[in-house]
Amino acid sequence: MRLNTDESGKRRRNAIRVFAGIALALMFFAPCAGAQTQSTDCKAAEPKPVPETYQTFYLTNVAQVSDLVDIQTDLRNMLSPKARVYSMQSQNALSLRGTPDDMQLAQKMISELDRPKKTYRLTYTITETESGKRVGMQSFLLIVGLGQKTDFKQGSRVPIVTGVADATASAQSSQVQYVDVGLSIAASLDGSADSLKLHTKVEQTSLAEEKSAVGAQDPVMRQSVLDGTSTLLPGKPLLLGSFDLPGGTRKQEVEVVAELVR
């Protein structure tokens, strides 16, 4: 009789353990029960979307459109794919829409990229010689920013008759075009502070004494052009070239030296 009682107690204890295990299993898998119609796996909750903000950045050291475009391209490549960057060239401004992290990174990048450009003083010296002797020298000073261009002109504007407005009219009027005569220098700088890339175009024009065979009113123009790109070290003079002046025996040499202004 005692043996039967012990066996009955064991069965009751085993049944209690089984029911307890089933209850725990139901409690553990209950969150997934409602998702059985979509998937047999319990899916994790999707993360909440990060709120976006908007801000406009005004660039203070942009000198040309290409500078603004370069910064805009850099931001688009570095920010998150969902970030949007737009530019307004008339105000040198960039409008950005993105997450707070995008705004923080954009602020850091713009502060590093929108910096004042270095400015150099270019001194061009044109030396005129005849039979190996110096007969004249002129110096011209141009201020050029890195990545920018400066033009210099000195001379006169000469009127040239190019035609007649109405050859059949009783009162004819001539068409006149003005041509620059004298010296012009165009200089542009690129590169770094240690090695500058200088592009220079030096052009000299003058009126010849002889008359044109086309018409007595048409002058003959004489022209000398020096156009090239050179590597320039700050503080060291560089001979750009030399050429003979047309209509005579004189020769000119063009030299340049660059000095950092700021």
Mean pLDDT to the nearest integer, 246-262: 86
- Whether residue 119 is predicted with pLDDT greater than 80 in this model: the reply is yes
Cα–Cα distance for residue pair 73/21, rounded to 1 Å: 61
108 band by pLDDT with thresholds 50, 70 and 90: very high
Q: Please report, as a single letter, which amino acid is at residue 91.
A: Q
Domains and CATH numbers, the chain: 53-113 (3.30.1370.120), 119-163+174-260 (no CATH)
Q: State the pLDDT at residue 95.
A: 95
Closest CA to 16 of 24, 28, 26, 4: 24
pLDDT greater at residue 132 or residue 165? 132
pLDDT value at residue 70: 92
Mean of pLDDT values over 26-34: 51
Residue 27 to residues 15, 22, 30, 237, Cα–Cα distance (Å): 18, 9, 5, 87
Is 185's pLDDT higher than 80?
yes
Chain center to CA of 177: 36
pLDDT for res 72 = 94
pLDDT tens readout for residues 227-253: 999 999 999 999 999 888 776 788 889
The whole-chain average pLDDT of the chain stands at: 80
- pLDDT, residue 9, reads 61
Per-residue pLDDT, averaged over 175-200, amounts to 87
Please give the pLDDT value at position 3. 43
C-alpha distances in angstroms, 220 versus 161, 205, 246? 13, 10, 12
Instruction: Kindly report whether the global pTM for this prediction surpasses the value 0.75.
Output: no
Instruction: Order across the sheet with 119-130: list the strands.
Output: 133-145, 119-130, 250-260, 238-244
Q: Which residue has the higher pLDDT, 25 or 103?
A: 103
CA distances from 86 to 4, 79, 102, 107 (A): 87, 13, 14, 15
Per-residue pLDDT tens digits for 137-184: 999 999 998 888 999 999 888 877 766 655 555 555 667 788 888 899
Contact 165, 172 (CB under 8 A): yes
3 state DSSP class of 132? coil
Residue 75 carries which side chain, given as an amino acid letter?
A: L
Average of per-residue pLDDT across 198-226 = 77
Check if the beta carbon of residue 189 is closer than 8 Å to that of residue 145.
Answer: yes
Beta bridge mates, 181: 156
CB 256, CB 197: distance < 8 Å: no
Tens digits of residue pLDDT in 35-67? 444 554 545 566 677 788 999 999 998 878 888
Say what the pLDDT of residue 25 is.
55
Residue 91 clears pLDDT 60, i.e. is over it: yes
pLDDT at 76 over 90: yes
Phi and psi (nearest 5°) for 102?
-60, -45
> Looking at residues 89-115, what average pLDDT do you find?
93
- pLDDT attached to residue 102: 94
Could you write out the DSSP letters of every residue in 35-99?
GTTT-SS-PPPPPPPPPPEEEEEE-SS--SHHHHHHHHHHHHHHS-TT-EEEEEGGGTEEEEEE-
The tokens 């040309």 sit on which residue? 64
Q: What percent of the chain has pLDDT over 90?
A: 41
Residues 106 and 109: their CA atoms lie apart, in Å, by 5
User: Looking at residue 170, what is its pLDDT?
Assistant: 53
- Of the ranges 115-119, 125-129, 217-221, which one carries the lowest mean pLDDT score? 217-221
The string over 114-142, giving b where at least 16 C-beta atoms fall within 10 Å of a residue's C-beta and e elsewhere, is beeebebebebebbebeeeeeeeeeebeb
